[in-house]
Amino acid sequence: MQHDDRILRWHSGAFQVISSSNGYLFAKFMLYAAVVAVLRLLTTGLSVPFLRWYQSNVEYLQHGNPELPPVTGNLIISLVFIVVLGIMCRTLETGWIKIALEASRLRDASERRITDGFSGSFPKIAVIEIIRSLGIYLGLCCLIAPGVWLFYRWRMVYFVCADNPQYGPIRCLRESARLTAGSKKLIFTLDLTLIMPYLTSFLITLITNGIADLFMRPKIAVTMAFCYNELSGHEIARPPENGGNDSPGGG
């Protein structure tokens, strides 16, 4: 019940913050989503040579040919660009998280930009993403459970990175591990409450799911920000009940 009370409090706080934001959170998220969509489209295009190379390997093996197609320079260049684009998406996400954190603390985040994550944080985010991705991938290969455990161990790493720009990558990972120690079940339960609306809208129609995503993502980010605030010991701000007159970033 204690978990349920905290999760309900975070959801309620996020709803009130979104309601009192006068739309600026939605506007910033739509910009973030548009930029990330372009980067992912580029990533998909760069993935085509890998898919062709993989298909060729399968065909060679099926025909018993031991000489597999060589790894060309174009493949290596594509891989480098895919990694860089992935890190750029994470860096933009960190900028979006900074906005969500400011909003959850009832500060004016209307002047914040989604590109704020690039301010000296790109190399740090690159190291974090490489360690995190490799750790979770290897953990998932080891009977899945270790990967899930690592995912929740580092669940707050980008919130830590956004909130503490002076931290290095290893300290961000360690701080996330500290914050989530003993709270993995709580965060997992919170994730379930955030996933269910997506599953519901997906079952109705793919179009509805797409529309719901635009309206739900800001609430998800701010809800997770409330969770981070409590786990990290920040004072939980109480959003205004009037839905707009005292809004952060509002008129």
Domain limits for position 222: 2-231
Residue 46 lies in a domain: yes
Residue 61 lies in a domain: yes
Residue 134 lies in a domain: yes
Residue 243 lies in a domain: no
77-114 pLDDT tens trace: 888 999 999 999 999 999 999 999 999 998 888 888 88
Q: Nearest 5 degrees, angle CA 7-CA 166-CA 118?
A: 85
Residue 70 lies in a domain: yes
pLDDT reported for residue 198: 63
Residue scoring higher pLDDT (242 or 174): 174
Residue 238 lies in a domain: no
Residue 104 lies in a domain: yes
pLDDT reported for residue 248: 45
Residue 14 lies in a domain: yes
Domain total in the chain: 1
pLDDT reported for residue 119: 79
| Cα pseudo-dihedral 23, 27, 28, 29, rounded to 10 | 100
Contacts of 85 (CB under 8 A, 6+ apart): 39, 40, 42, 43, 46
pLDDT reported for residue 208: 46
Query: How many other CB atoms are found less than 10 A from the CB of residue 35?
Result: 15
Work out whether the CA dihedral 68, 72, 78, 83 comes out positive or negative. positive
Q: Which of 19, 53, 51 is nearest to 246 (CA)?
A: 19
103-146 pLDDT tens trace: 999 888 888 888 988 877 899 999 999 999 999 999 999 889 99
138-188 pLDDT tens trace: 999 988 999 999 999 999 999 999 999 999 999 999 999 999 999 999 999
55-83 pLDDT tens trace: 887 877 777 776 767 777 888 888 899 99
Confidence (pTM): 0.83
